[in-house]
Amino acid sequence: MNLIRKKMSNIAKKYLQDRDIKNLIARSTQYKKVVGNPKELYILVSPKGNKTFSLRYKNEISKKDKFYKIGEWRESIFTTQMARAKAIQILRDLNNGDTTFETLKDTQDRKYTYENLFYGIIEHKRKNGKKESYLKKVVIRHQKYFLPSFGKMDVKEIKYSQIKEILSAIFNPYDPTKNRLETIHRLIDNINEVFTIAERDKYIDKNFVSALHSEFPTSRNYKHKHGIDSRLPAIIDDKLLAQFLHDLKCDGRMDLQTKRAIYLQILCVNRPINTASIRWEYVNVNEKTWTIPAQEMKMGYLHQIALNSYAIDILNEQKNFCIMDNGFVFPAFNKEGHIHKDSLNKAIIKLNGGKYKGLAISHGFRATFRTICSRNKADLLKIGISDEVIETALAHKESDMIKFAYERSKSTKEQLENLMQWYGDYLNRLEPF
């Protein structure tokens, strides 16, 4: 009886459980232990303490033992029981002739090609609600600069010096205004995400990509070094602003829809993309509000614009004379269904023979608004308008006052209405609409 118990005890020790694997201690070199059930299942313990479930098999050519990784042991996340189930399924597929270890290994290796990891990250971001416009920019940037050279490569094969060489070729040190440094640093951030995934999977030992930032100056520092004003062009002089409004009003060549969009951009001080893509369903003329959904906002939260009388007049005019009804305030025959945000800038550049080229862009009218408000701070305080209200109008930050978008707080809504009407009146005094 004792002999039987002893034999049974020896058999039990062959089959490791989670508690046994948890207690395995790292050594100076990698070692392996039989997990058992099935007999081909092993656990490999690295000098860093990583414990990886693997299936032992013989290479058909060399006849040497090889190990196919099936997952890293993680307590309560990827357990011994899960590893056994996965191992048994693989062995069944092998026995049925559905696959081979060579095929499995090849598939596993392809998973870690740069483009596979990159597009996997893009899809993950998409499922988590990242804006399609942002994802499109990331993909286009990668397709232009990085994927042609590294897309098909295994991340293990990509060297620091190779990435640096590509980025250095993008950098234009001879024209400070077109140095592409912002593109370079955004690329580094995106590349870093790919290598982070590989590192966390224990597929590579170390992610070196973030160090590439130190190889290139920031765009801001580079422009400062070369004496370049990095701020967006904006009209902040009242006399010049009056001239601009006059020229805009008197321009007979500009498309009227585009002109109305520029007026709305100036009066509502939002971002150009929001002006270009505004829908009629966002506008409530009776409430004098324009509500932009959270998914269309840069900061990711709902934003409400208080419409002054001049903005409402422009919207009514656009509604009366618009020749197409597809739900957009400024419709167009393109895949987006609305005018492109860049059409506002193009029209501004062409205004009065290029008079305002380098002096004004559509986004710059946000700075115009902020500057005028700062210069008239004392007058605004008299009517109850603080800096916080101004910042809320610009959707610069998620302050407590933004709650009006959800709670319809009367006092906050009135403050914003008063501010935007004051601003419209100010512009109208410079040059009547």
pTM over 0.75: no
Q: Work out the angle between the directed axes of helices 114-127 and 101-111 (0-180°, nearest 10).
A: 60
401 contacts 388 by C-beta, under 8 angstroms: yes
How far is the C-alpha of 300 from the C-alpha of 128, rounded, in Å?
13
42 contacts 55 by C-beta, under 8 angstroms: yes
In this prediction, residue 230 carries a pLDDT of 47
3-state secondary structure (DSSP) of residue 401: helix
In this prediction, residue 96 carries a pLDDT of 82
How far is the C-alpha of 319 from the C-alpha of 279, rounded, in Å?
11
User: What residue segments make up the domains of the chain, in order of their start?
Assistant: 2-100, 114-225, 238-430
Q: What are phi and psi of 355, to 5 degrees?
A: -60, -30
Domain 238-430 superfamily per CATH: Intergrase catalytic core (1.10.443.10)
Number of Cβ within a 10 Å radius of residue 194: 25
In this prediction, residue 66 carries a pLDDT of 81
In this prediction, residue 2 carries a pLDDT of 46
How far is the C-alpha of 303 from the C-alpha of 308, rounded, in Å?
16
Three-state secondary structure string covering 80-98: HHHHHHHHHHHHHHHHCCC
3-state secondary structure (DSSP) of residue 341: coil
Question: Shortest CA distance to 41 belongs to which of 15, 75, 18?
Answer: 15
Domain 2-100: assigned CATH number? 3.30.160.390
The position carrying tokens 């929001």 is: 274
Strand 283-284 with 289-292, pairing: antiparallel
In this prediction, residue 176 carries a pLDDT of 59
How far is the C-alpha of 78 from the C-alpha of 88, rounded, in Å?
15
In this prediction, residue 223 carries a pLDDT of 57
Mean pLDDT by 10 residues, the chain (433 residues): 40 74 93 92 92 84 79 84 88 80 65 87 87 87 89 89 91 71 92 94 90 83 53 82 95 94 94 93 94 79 90 95 90 91 92 91 90 92 89 69 44 86 96 92
In this prediction, residue 324 carries a pLDDT of 87
290 contacts 307 by C-beta, under 8 angstroms: yes
Task: Round to the nearest angstrom and report the end-to-end CA distance of the chain.
Answer: 105
**Top-level CATH class of 114-225?**
mainly alpha
Joined together, the tokens standing for residue 258 give: 């585009």
